[in-house]
Structure formats: C-alpha cells, structure tokens
Chain A
C-alpha cells in the first residue's frame, strides 16, 4: 500500500477544497450578515434620591418599563414618520432594559437584611437598548433609541414631576351653545386654574425660560392675568350692564337650580359638621381616659432618631388632625356654598331687574329689560360676541405658547431628573468578520481532514481491490475498471499502450520453482518502472507474467526507446542469470482509427514481438 502522505491527498483536492471553502464561507458571511442585528445602547440614571427606593418623585412606584410602553412608542412612531411601516408592538419587542446594580449598595442591603433590619434598594441606573436588523442598519437603531428616550424623558416629567395641567379647556367655547355669562365664567375659571398651575411652576423655577417660545412662566402668568383684568372684566361688566343673554328663562333656571343645589349641599354639610363634632368629643374623651394625653412638655423620646425630622416629608397627619380638618373642610364648603348662592342671586337680580324703561313689561317677558327697550342692545350684543371671539383667539394663542413652554419645561425636567451616563453606542450582535474567518478556517480544516480521510480510504480500497500484492502494481480488476471507464470515450492523442508478457513463466515456475518465477516478475516490475521513469504512465500487472503500461503525453517512438532500454537493462541483469527469459513486447499508439482503449489494447496485443534474454553463455 502507498505511504501515508498528507500532501499527496491534499494536492489532489486542494483547488476544490479552496473553491468550496470560499463559496461556503461566502454563504456563512451572507447568512451571518443577514441575521446580524445592530444594538444601540444608552446608560441612563435616575437622579432623584427616591429612585433608589423604587419610587418616582411623586412617591408612586417607579416603573422603568414605561420606556417601552405603547404610549411612548406610538409617539416615537409618529415622530419618525414610521406609521404604517412598523407596528408599535414590533418595535417594543426590540427594546431591552437592563438594570445596573451598585455593588456597594447591594452589599449594604444584604448586610442590613442579615441583621434583620429593613433596607430598601432598587437599581437606579439602567442600560436601555434597541435592536435593529442588518437591513435597517446602525443609524436606525441609534435614531430610534434617541427618540424613545427623548419622548420618555418628557413623559416622565409630565407624569412624575410637572404634574399640574395647564390645558386649554375653552377652545371653541363660542361654537357651543353657552350663554354669554356662562362662557365668561368658564373663561374666568380656566384662567384661574391656569394661573394656579403657572404660579406653582414659578415657585419651582422662577427664572425658567423656554428657548423655543422665549417666555417664562412668570410672563405667561402676567399675560393671563392682564387679559383677565382688562378683557374678561370688561366683558363681564358689559354683559351685566346690558343684561346680555341668549335666553333669559334658561339663565334664570340655571342659577335658581344652582342655589337649590347649594341649599341641599349646605344641609348635608351641616349634618356632617355635627357628626364630626360628636366624633371629636368622643375621641378626646377616650384619649383622655386611656392616659394618652398625659404628656408634659418635658417629654423627650428615649431613642435617638436617625432621620432629620424636619426634612421628613411624609404624611404626619394624625387621626385627631384629620377630624379637625374634616370639620373645617365641611364648614368651608358650607360657607362657600352660601357665598356662591349670594353670587347666583346677584346674577339673577342683574338679569331680572327692571331699568324702568320698559314700564315693568320685562317681569312677565322672556326677554331682559334692556333687550326689550334699549335700542343699542343688538349692537352691544354683537360687539360682545366679537370681543369674546377675540378674547378666545388671544387665549388660545397664549395657551399654545404655554403648552410649548410647558413641553420644553417637561423635557428640561426630564433631563434633569434622568441623566445620561453614556450616550448611544451601537454594536453588532455578531462579529461578522471574526465569525466568517473562524468559519473559513473551520471549513478548511474540515475539508482537508475529509480529503485526507478520503485519500487514505482510496489507498486502502485500491490496495485491497485494485493492487497486485506481489508487484504492488495495479491488478487485472483495475485494468477492467479502466477499460470500462474508457468504453464510451475517445483517447487523446499521445496515448501509448505497451504490453510486456513473460512467455515462459509457467516453464520457469516448473523448472526453478514458483519463488523464482515470482522473483522474475518482481524483477520485471522494477526494470519496467526504471525504464519508464517520470513519464506519465500507469502500470498494471495483468497476471500470468503480463504487464500493461498505459502512457499519456508520449508517442510510439518514445515508448519503443523505453522498451529498448528495458531490454538492455534486462540483458545486463545480475540476478537469475541462469534463467532464460522469453518475453513479448507489444506497443500501440493512438491515431485516427485507434481512438478507443479496447482497440488500442488489441492493437498492442497484435503488435507483440518475441524476445529472449539468455545470459547463460
């Protein structure tokens, strides 16, 4: 059997291995690239100290998963113009939020818990990631993440910091069928509520100024207040003076009902106040009897309190305080209802009073006195309508500015309550070049190993089935296979078949023994191989002392010369000189008619010539 030579096995299949590996590697690269994703990540930190207790600035539970809420994502989709291209859910599923725990705080928590003490610690730093597919690219991942956090920061502030609303509740008020006085009351209430909210903002941050609108909350409050003082009061006074109404009857009914409701509410509050007073008395009596009121001014707690009591902002209301507050609130509600009834009576008087110009006709009429007898009424009414429209226009514009200022303030607060520790960075989920290189080397190793195994297996099969074990040349089965494989093919030019037969082998076996015969065969094998040298020849031992040499890229004369050399070598041999060897040599070359293997072989057999090597003399 042939020696185990790795290079020989590889050399044969190397081009195929390289081509296959390159193609397979490209396939791997393509697959990895297609399934690769870009992950944009940003590190955020909640600055509020309550965040480490898992609480938002309002004291509500801090839920970081709000980052991937549909409320945030739908705004992102809208802002980026992705509506109809991406569903909100599909984008939400790509967001990942990973908490980063502070090792010191965790250790502290564990130690406290081991000692049986309560210790609350929740991570306040998080990695927020968004994954984009390879087709979408790294820019998409970074942009979406940026937008998500932009929207979230704003919503966080809106929900947990800057909670008081300053919304425009009077837009298109003039399109509804409100009476003038009702419209003005609604406008006044809306301005009042907005001013309350704006004063809260001013208290939080007096000098905050939105860069987009260029105004501060103080300026907005001043503008609202100015409109209220000038325009609103002017309209109220006109409506009162000229008794301007859309329907006197409805207006009178409305305010009468309001008075009735106030009366009912007063009765209810009165009863509640009495009950609360009873409870307060009973409570104090019980506390006195149980000795809980025997505390002198010298009483000092034994234990040292760890927390700064004055800084403690939790609810300190005790039950007794709550009872007192309830008493006060119920009474206040009662008193305010009485004042409101007085206001309603004032309105009723204003709109039902007679100026004297109508001669008392207005009392029985559905129209006010001014409407009945003042010629200017219609003109004033139109003027009031126009002024209300103009006021609403100014207020709407002011509310728009307020909303813009407030939105920017929300963004500002969001960014001050949540800081960015590391801005958006994008990485690939798979290192494509690295894994492609690994795949290439792995495939090369695998294919080379396969080539070696196949090559060696081929050697073994050849040795078992297609090798003559005496001469180590290919055997008859190989020749049969060869001829079969060439059956349907034409041979190239330059193919020369050569047959060498030992004619008297049977005689040599009989006279000198079979061993001598075998040695002669081996000797022939060696001389033939020597003679053909490096030519492109396949050697076959066909059995019974017959050798077939199939030479390519040669010609008849060359092979004839080789055979001449062979004969000379045989005649100069040093071994078995006493044995007379008779042999035949037949040579055939491909030419026009001799193009098939079988025909060429037959030609070689026909062309056989006899030779004798007798060295006895």
Chain B
C-alpha cells in the first residue's frame, strides 16, 4: 500500500513540476522579445550535472518503489489443449466454464496446497480475475470465436500483501489443473475396500466378481470405442486388455470358481441360502406368470385382429440417399407381434433364472459341503480378487496414458511475471520525463517576471 502511494507521489511531483514550469514559461513569454526568447533557449544548460544527479536519484527511488509495486501483480495463461476445447466443452463433453479457474474449490485447494496463512478464500479470490485472452463478438458469424486461452491475473491487496505473488499464481494454476483432471478427465473407480468374503455366500461372491470384472470390461470397451488403435507403453490396446479380462472372467470366475462351488454344493449357511433361493423362485414365478399372461394376451389380440384390417398399402418413396423404394404402412399386428416376442423373452429369462436357482438348490441338497472344498474355494477367491485388482490397475493405467496422449496434459499454464526489460523501459521513460521537467524548470527561471 505504502509503496503504491510513494510510487504515485513521485510521479505526481515530477508531473506537477513539468506542468508548472511549462505554464511559467508560457505566461512569461510575453515579457521577452523573440531574440531574447531564442537566446534563453540557446544558452540553457541542457546537460547540467546537478540536473543529471537529481534525475538519477529520483529515477532510482521511483524504480525501487515501482519494482515492489510490480512484484504485487502477476498473471498466467491457462491454455486448453484437448480437442473438445474448440467447441467450448470440457474433455468429458460438458460445457466449459471459465469461472471455475478461480472458483471457491480451486482457491481453497490452492490455499491448502501452499499452506497459505492468514488468508481466506474470499480474500484471495478478490485479488484474482480471469478473462479470455481473445474474445469474439456476436455481430456476425465472422466474429464468432471460442476462447481456449484464459488469463488469470493476481494483484495483491492489503489482506494478501504478505504472500508471494508468483507463488500464489503458481498455486492457483496448479490447483486448477488438479481440479480439472479430477473433475473432467476419464475416471474409473471400483470398490476401494475389499469386502469381507467370509461373510458372503459363495455364489454371491461369484456374482460380485462377475459385477467387478464386468465394470472393468465396460470401462475398457468404452475406451476402445474412443480409440481402438491406441497402444500403451506396454504394447497393449484397450481391446487386448479387455480380451484378457474377458477370458479370465469366463475361465476363472464362471468356470473354475462357479463350477467348484456349484458342483460341490459349497455353501456357508445352507438353510438361509436355500430359503433365499426358494423365495427368489417364488418371486420370479409371479413375474413369469405376469409376463406369460401378457404374452398370451398379445397372441390373442393378434388372433382376434380382423383379417380385413390387416391389409397394408405400399408407399413409393425415396430414402435420404435419393434411392427409390417401397415403404409399407404398419398395422397393429406388427406392434403386437413385437410385444409378444418381448414378453416371450421375459418368460424365457424368468424360467432360466428359476432353473439356475433350482440347479443350485439340487446341488446343495445332494452334496454335503466339504471343508476341504470350502478352503480351496476361499483360496481361489483370494487369488481371483488379487487378479481383478491387477486388471483394474492395468485398465486405469492404460486409461490415464490415453488421456495424457489425447489431451496433451489437457491444460498448459504459462506464468508471466514482470520482465526486466519492461521494468527498464518504464525507468528509461520516467528518467526522460524527469529530465525534461527539471530542464524546463531551470529554463522557466530565466524568464523575467516583468517585461
């Protein structure tokens, strides 16, 4: 604050001296004739040692205050490097919002990262401004512009004067990068905590593993759809990793583990599990009955559809490629047939579920669970879980590698402090101005007050 006042005060003093001297000369011009006037300007000492000394000292003092003042301000350019940025989108396809660069979350993160003391989010936020480096217009299409570079400005206030400006802007941009990557770049999460398998029914563990591997597969297929040819540093593609996971799922989970549990009737709480499956069957049977009724009614509706009303009309038309073809009007029978098929599928699915449950019930009732098999199943479960975690890690690593490759680190930040050259330029200009003011002051003294 004080440096700001002193810096401005010095400039004002020199400015006042300049104006006062120029005004004095102007007012006293009439007191001398043309020859005298020329003589005054000719004989003026333009290179006076005192003037040079005063000028040097003034500039030096001004330079010191100016340097401290400039140190309070710094700015950075945040550039968005991913392809969706040109459509004003975040990398996950949502709308990009520039204001997030100095949002409360980012500022809070910056304060925490830098362990900044005696400053609140609000105080720091008040010192920050963000604006697009280039902004378009809305007058006509030629003015349209999607900004992908944004300037973040920091100017210290009284509350934040104790903070190092360069450090603050560094923290803000780095916090924003983290915030952005966390919020908008590809993300994949599985259950972080290992479930207590000893409390879970064996067949439920199979379902759990099935669910987890399906999630990994889903993630990998999704990434493969974005870029099927992307090769990781290890030489894998998303499809090749997915292939491995799929194979593992089929052999280790669905064949080895499931078969072991099923064929040996391995169960933790036989009665409870049998009750559960029985309930499920009962419940599924109600659903099956409903689906079967719907299927039957669709067929009956098709039967009762009058033959005379099923006639269709052919409509000559052309498609979007401009090719001719014969369109056909639809009748309710078409719709009902589709519905009947759908309900038939549901019935089949219900029946399959019940058959699966019955198979498990039969196996459980016909086998007495052997402790040896249980122990073998437990060790297999542990091994499968470890493998799934390994696949998860591999999938995430491949995904991150792809994100880095695709988005070129998604955001680039360049910080601009005050350059020595620009500071020197200011000083040279100030020195020149001060010198002129001092010379003018000296010349003005030579003009007489009266003619």
Contacts and interface: CB of A to CB of B under 8 A. Distances in A.
A241 interface: yes
A421 interface: yes
A52 to B, nearest CB: 17
A299 B314 contact: yes
Interface stretch (B3-11, B283-291, B381-389, B439-447): B283-291
Give the interface size bracket for A toward B. Answer: 35 or more
A408 B89 CA distance: 13
B187 A293 contact: no
Query: Interface size class for chain B?
Result: 35 or more
A549 B93 CA distance: 93
Given A316-B330, A412-B92, A425-B137, A305 B207 contact: no
Given A218-B218, A237-B272, A301-B314, A226 B211 contact: yes
Contact of B207 (A229, A284, A416): A229
Interface string B374-415: 000000000000000000000000000000000000000000
Given A218-B218, A305-B316, A411-B94, 9 more contacts: A207-B222, A215-B215, A240-B275, A311-B319, A324-B336, A336-B290, A412-B94, A419-B88, A423-B145
Contact of A233 (B99, B144, B211, B276): B276
23 contacts: A127-B138, A146-B97, A147-B97, A149-B95, A209-B219, A211-B186, A216-B219, A222-B215, A226-B207, A234-B272, A240-B279, A284-B306, A287-B309, A304-B317, A305-B327, A309-B315, A321-B331, A324-B301, A336-B293, A416-B93, A423-B98, A423-B135, A425-B137
Contacts of B306: 280, 284, 320
A332 B294 contact: yes
Contact of B313 (A219, A230, A301, A342): A301
Contacts of B189: 213-215
Contacts of A248: none
Nearest to A284: B306
Contacts of B293: 332, 335-336, 339
B286 A343 contact: yes
A117 interface: no
Contacts of B36: none
A183 to B, nearest CB: 16
A321 B138 CA distance: 51
Interface string A239-263: 0110000000000000000000000
A237 B218 contact: no
A236 B279 contact: yes
Interface string B96-138: 1111000000000000000000000000000001111001111
A346 interface: yes
B264 interface: no
Given A226-B207, A412-B92, A423-B136, A308 B129 contact: no
Contacts of B96: 423
B138 A153 contact: no
Contact of B146 (A233, A339, A420): A420
Given A230-B204, A234-B276, A212 B88 contact: no
A305 B297 contact: no
A325 interface: yes
A545 interface: no
A304 B187 CA distance: 52
B279 A339 contact: no
Interface stretch (A57-65, A137-145, A360-368, A585-593): A137-145
Nearest to B130: A139
A129 B147 CA distance: 17
B55 interface: no
Residue from B95, B186, B275, B335 having most chain A Cβ neighbours under 10 A? B95
Those 5 A-B pairs whose CB atoms lie nearest each other, nearest first: A309-B327, A207-B222, A321-B332, A214-B189, A293-B308
Contacts of A233: 276, 279-280, 283
B230 interface: no
A288 to B, nearest CB: 6
B311 A293 contact: yes
A203 to B, nearest CB: 14
A307 B316 CA distance: 10
B282 A346 contact: yes
A471 interface: no
Interface string B301-340: 1001110110111111111100000111111100110000
Interface string B11-36: 00000000000000000000000000
B155 to A, nearest CB: 13
A237 B279 contact: yes
A207 B297 contact: no
Interface string A192-227: 000000000000001111111111101100110010
A294 to B, nearest CB: 9
Contacts of A343: 286
Nearest to B137: A425
A563 to B, nearest CB: 22
Nearest to B286: A343
A305 B185 contact: no
A310 interface: yes
A300 interface: yes
A414 interface: yes
Contacts of A428: none
A296 interface: yes
A315 to B, nearest CB: 11
A408 B94 contact: yes
B184 interface: yes
A212 B183 contact: yes
A596 interface: no
Interface in B212-252: 214-215, 218-219, 221-222, 225
Contact of B319 (A129, A206, A308, A415): A308
B327 A139 contact: no
Contacts of B309: 284, 287, 293, 320
A466 to B, nearest CB: 27
A181 B279 CA distance: 13
B262 interface: no
A304 B316 contact: yes
Interface string A319-332: 01100110110011
Contacts of A222: 211, 214-215
B186 to A, nearest CB: 7
A132 interface: no
Contacts of A139: 129-131
Nearest to A325: B332
A424 B137 CA distance: 8
Nearest to B140: A100
A297 interface: yes
Given A233-B283, A305-B315, A420-B88, A219 B272 contact: no
A423 B215 contact: no
A43 interface: yes
Contacts of A426: 135
A41 interface: yes
Contacts of A332: 293-294, 297
B422 interface: no
Contact of B317 (A146, A211, A307, A316): A307
B41 interface: no
A127 B138 CA distance: 7
Contacts of B289: 339, 342
B416 interface: no
A211 B276 contact: no
B148 to A, nearest CB: 9
B218 A219 contact: yes
A115 interface: no
Given A411-B94, A415-B95, A241 B275 contact: yes
Contact of B315 (A226, A301, A412, A427): A301
A244 B298 CA distance: 39
Interface string A148-176: 01100100000000000000000000000
Nearest to B302: A324
Contacts of B305: 324
A300 B328 CA distance: 9
B315 to A, nearest CB: 5
